[in-house]
Chains A and B, each alone.
Chain A
Amino acid sequence: MLQLLWLNPVLPLFGFAALVLFGRRISNTAVAWISAGTVALSAVAAAAVGIKFIITGRESWYSQTLWTWFKIGDFSPGISFYLDALSVVMMLVVSFVGLLIIIYSTAFMAGDGGYSRFFAYMNLFIASMLILVLADNLLFLYLGWEGVGLCSYLLIGFWYKDYTNARAAIKAFLVTRIGDTAMAVGLFLLFASFGTLNINSLAQQISNQPSGSFLMNLAAILLLAGAIGKSAQVPLQVWLPDAMAGPTPVSALIHAATMVTAGVYLIARTNFIFIHAPDVLKAVAIIGAVTLLLGGFSALVQRDIKRVLAYSTISQIGYMFLALGVGAWPAAIFHFMVHAFFKSELFLCAGVVITAVKGEHDIFKMGGLHRKLPMLFWAFLIGCASLSALPLVTAGFYSKDLILLEVWESQSGGIFLWSAGLIGALLTSLYSFRMFFIVFLGRSNSHVEYRPNFRISIVLTILAFLSIAGGFIKLPFEMATTTHTGSEFNGAAAGITSLAGIVIAYLLFAKKRFKLTSKYSIAIHDLCYADWGFDRIYQNAFVRPYIWLANADKDDFIDTIYDWLEAAGKACSRALSFSVNGNLRWYAAGVTIGSIILIAVVILL
């Protein structure tokens, strides 16, 4: 049964190939069936492999090699898949959440001109993500890494005819590229030092290394840079809010559930490197803490519903990084799983809401939707509750509570990181329920007549159920049970914080809207709105000088060579066009001259 592992990444790849070759010529229904069908089969394979792996539980890992990719000298990475507890969880989450989002998209994207193109890209994305999480060696992982980056670019800029979407896609690709390059250098370093990129071999070799050496620190920093880029952490988080220009299912799948968690997966997978570089690990925690606060503050003041969710994603991944930074690998992955459920549900609900109010993204222009869209009201409520970690009911509570507990109990954690996490929890419930109250309660501002499609409703229901029940699933980690809340003080603190956030949000946003009056608070508001000025800093520090340099270099000396070539060609053309003047006798004279020359050649030779 475990031999079916290779089907999991390969089936969506078949779907991609079929859609690329035939997608234009077959009907939309056929496209939907091919795409959803291959991903569904892949999810079935994932379920079969996962159940077998979890139930038998005898061996702790399983590896399946398809073939050797290439062989240069001693280096021969293989196309091989590696299954252990970590990748089982990732594979199941990616496959099933991906399947649900694709089913949602078949209804959501109906009527779009690029229907087959969309599903081809989605299939390629799911295949690349599965390759990423199942890869046996870091080179194969990097292949999946690049693949998801490419699909992210293609899907953000899906409606490429609008120039802002294309710019957002380029921005996302460039910023993640910075991280990718650093990660590539890290891979080179690892290969040069240890001669292999196979994860198991690396783990064995590195366990003999002293910790804290320069090599370990450097490799860890480079891999961390790659993770920061892909997961949109400070300082490379600027691409994620603009990436909301893509269609909503794209935001749900790529920028909430899967691709942005690739960095978390990378650090969890190569944790042996980070364990041997404790300073870098501390930096991971600090980055996580800073990011979750930045994301929380920025999400509090946004107007666009998708941007609120984007900053919320940045903040929640900050929680995962915080957990990784204190060494709590299972907690981070648990939070990833629960976050995938409720964040994708929130994004999908946002997509339905935007469709219902006919393309309006500003939450202050929506309102009173709870009577018009009752099912969405409940779905969104459950999603927000899970995001805010409502105590004891939602899955989000268990994961976030576990992270805070681990932070409190770790040696390198300390009180500062724990309070940062707690403030972040307050902010989370504050901004999520601000969004919920403004959109759904109050007077309705717009006329809505929209009933969601049956498929959309089913998907939202399933995800809502998972957002609640996901906390009770036992995971095959070394976690005892997930209802373990540790010290009661921690649990109580987390619960009270989230409830307090809900109450404050209700007071502030549900009844009346208050305006900021003092200049000081308006300045802070604008700073948070503009993502703490990161965009402007990057624009002035990097983008402007580069454009100036490119403009100054426009007519350099290499260009003059080509200009001269062009001028020479034009001159020859002008000269030769004298001989084509349409005059018959001129042509006859030409023939004569030619024959003279020929006869002369014959005579003289």
Chain B
Amino acid sequence: MVLFVFVIMMLNLGPQTAQEEKSRLNFKVWLGPAVLAAILIIELIYALTKEQTNNFEAVIVSAKEVGMSLFGTYLPMVEIASVLLLAGLLGAYHLGRRVSDSQDVRKG
């Protein structure tokens, strides 16, 4: 989330942008999405209340158990997540370059 703050700082989006955004949020714009979201909520809640489940005890799962699971059963997935972060890093670096820089580079 800090990235958002960085981007907003870099692009110098001041209160003027917020003002623009607000001016565009008239009722007509809200209507369609509201309808769609309403339908979605109704569907989901209907699906949830259709079946009566037993009231289980809400057990707090301790962090120790989570850690053991992460480094035990799900270890490969942790590795893959690290690879994903690496890919994200490289993608963000490459995509964030300025256009004038990329014209001097021969290989993509």
Contacts and interface: CB of A to CB of B under 8 A. Distances in A.
A599 B44 CA distance: 8
Interface stretch (B35-43, B67-75, B98-106): B35-43
Interface string B37-80: 10110011011001000000000000000000000000000000
A157 B69 CA distance: 82
Contacts of B32: 589
B41 to A, nearest CB: 10
Contacts of B36: 589, 592-593, 596
Contact of B33 (A589, A595, A600): A589
A603 interface: yes
Contacts, number: 22
Q: How large is the interface on A (under 10, 10 to 19, 20 to 34, 35 or more residues)?
A: under 10
11 contacts: A589-B33, A592-B37, A592-B40, A596-B39, A596-B40, A596-B43, A599-B44, A599-B47, A602-B47, A603-B47, A603-B50
Contacts of A593: 36
B43 A603 contact: yes
Contacts of B44: 599
Interface of A: 589, 592-593, 595-596, 599-600, 602-603
Contacts of A599: 40, 43-44, 47
Nearest to B36: A592
Contacts of A602: 47
A603 B40 CA distance: 12
Instruction: Say what secondary structure dominates the interface of chain B.
Output: helix
Contacts of B50: 603
A587 to B, nearest CB: 13
B46 A603 contact: yes
B49 to A, nearest CB: 11
A595 B40 contact: yes
Interface string B75-94: 00000000000000000000
Find the residue from B37, B40, B50 having the highest chain A CB count within 10 A.
B40
Closest 4 pairs between A and B when the two form their complex, measured CB to CB: A592-B36, A599-B43, A603-B47, A596-B39
A603 B50 CA distance: 9
A601 to B, nearest CB: 10
Nearest to B40: A596
Contacts of B33: 589
Contacts of B37: 592
Find the residue from A589, A593, A596, A602 having the highest chain B CB count within 10 A.
A596
Nearest to B50: A603
Nearest to A585: B33
Interface in B4-54: 32-33, 36-37, 39-40, 43-44, 46-47, 50
B6 to A, nearest CB: 23
Contacts of A592: 36-37, 40
Contacts of B43: 596, 599-600, 603
A398 B98 CA distance: 96
A591 to B, nearest CB: 10
A219 B93 CA distance: 88
A596 B43 CA distance: 8
Nearest to B32: A589
Contacts of A589: 32-33, 36
Contacts of A603: 43, 46-47, 50
A599 to B, nearest CB: 5
A457 to B, nearest CB: 64
Contacts of B47: 599, 602-603
Contacts of A595: 40
Contacts of A600: 43
Nearest to B29: A585
Nearest to B39: A596
A242 to B, nearest CB: 62
Find the residue from A593, A595, A599 having the highest chain B CB count within 10 A.
A599
A157 B44 CA distance: 75
Given A589-B32, A596-B40, 7 more contacts: A589-B36, A593-B36, A596-B43, A599-B40, A599-B44, A600-B43, A602-B47
B77 to A, nearest CB: 26
B48 to A, nearest CB: 10
A579 to B, nearest CB: 15
Nearest to A600: B43
A404 B39 CA distance: 104
A103 to B, nearest CB: 59
A589 B34 CA distance: 11
